[in-house]
Structure 1
Amino acid sequence: MALIPRLPSDIFRPEFLDSLRTFGDVFKGVSEFPKTDIHETPTEVIITAEIPGVEKKDDVKITVHEDHIHLSGKVERVTEQHEENIHRQERFYGHFSRTLSLPSPVDEAGAKASYKNGILEIRLPKIHQETGRQIDIDFS
């Protein structure tokens, strides 16, 4: 008869299961912060990113390349908390870095960014490429 190990009864308590979910979200969230939306109009690509807690423009760096954009920076915790009183800690703070593919070629020189109420908005004008060209016919 094989012995089957018995799990502690508190392993199925909601608090324990909730802590496992939070632990998993920490690793999942690293690559997904900041949360972003990308859409385009006929004239520009618009990126919005949720980055609550940014205090000054030096806390965020935006770099545009040919076919992607890179966001990096830091979010600092506003108040100091004592470890013995923390029951849950889900809000992001620390350094972040994320690279996103752009759906169209953009004019890096015309890029503009603004930040309001925890939302970073980046507007990138599209490079207008001619989609067709008329060819002259040489009659000899």
Structure 2
Amino acid sequence: MPLIPYESFRNLDGFKRDLDRLFNDFPAFVRGEQQFGAHRIDVYETDTEVVATCDLPGLEKKEDVDIDVRGNVLTVSGTLTRTHEVQEERMHRQERFYGRFQRSVELPAAVDDDNVKASYRNGVLEIRMAKLQPPPRKKIDIDFH
């Protein structure tokens, strides 16, 4: 009977993966934000930029949303207001979110925070961030004697 080394922490990899999946599904819960206010963000990259799109239906003016890029973290925050007030006793169902929201996501690459452009169309906020280009490699001359 051959002896096979037992990896005591082998089962923890699956447990860690399940925990990561759980907390990625509930990002607002992890960060202490109101869960209903956590808007979904898609992030992808091209050769020259990182692009984030966020569903933000109901924005009426650009002053209602703030975009902050620091290091490799993008933060989108703002306020969604109701267009008209409804008395609480007359409300039968309320599923839409109103109020202050904030969402932060880690970016897949370093971006130039001075070169960020955003546009809002049909309830979708698109943020384009130019990637930081690494400085060109410089050949070092060697004094060879």
Normalising by structure 2, we get a TM-score of 0.70
Tell me how far apart the structure 1 counterparts of residues 141 and 46 of structure 2 sit (CA, whole Å): 33
Offset, 1:88: 1.4
The secondary structure found in structure 2 opposite 1:53 is coil
Offset, 1:130: 4.4
- Which residue does the alignment assign to 1:30? 34
Q: Kindly, what percent of the aligned residue pairs are identical?
A: 45
Offset, 1:128: 0.8
Out of 65, 70, 88, the position equivalent to 2:75 is 70
Offset, 1:100: 1.4
The 5 A counterparts of 1:1-140 are 30-31=34-35, 33-130=38-135, 134-140=139-145
What is the letter of the counterpart of residue 39 of structure 1? Y
CA offsets 1:45-72 (integer angstroms, 9 cap, x no match): 0010111100001000111111111111
The secondary structure found in structure 2 opposite 1:58 is helix
Cα-Cα RMSD = 2.2
Structure 1 runs (4+) deviating above 6 angstroms are none
Tell me how far apart the structure 2 counterparts of residues 45 and 52 of structure 1 sit (CA, whole Å): 22
Tell me how far apart the structure 2 counterparts of residues 47 and 95 of structure 1 sit (CA, whole Å): 20
Per mean C-alpha deviation after superposition, the further-off stretch among 124-133 and 56-65 is 124-133
What is the letter of the counterpart of residue 64 of structure 2? D
Offset, 1:118: 0.6
Normalising by structure 1, we get a TM-score of 0.73
Q: Which stretches in structure 1 are left out of the alignment for 5+ residues?
A: 1-24
What is the letter of the counterpart of residue 55 of structure 1? E
Report how many residues are paired: 115
- Which residue does the alignment assign to 2:20? none
Tell me how far apart the structure 1 counterparts of residues 57 and 41 of structure 2 sit (CA, whole Å): 12
Tell me how far apart the structure 2 counterparts of residues 131 and 105 of structure 1 sit (CA, whole Å): 16
The secondary structure found in structure 1 opposite 2:68 is strand
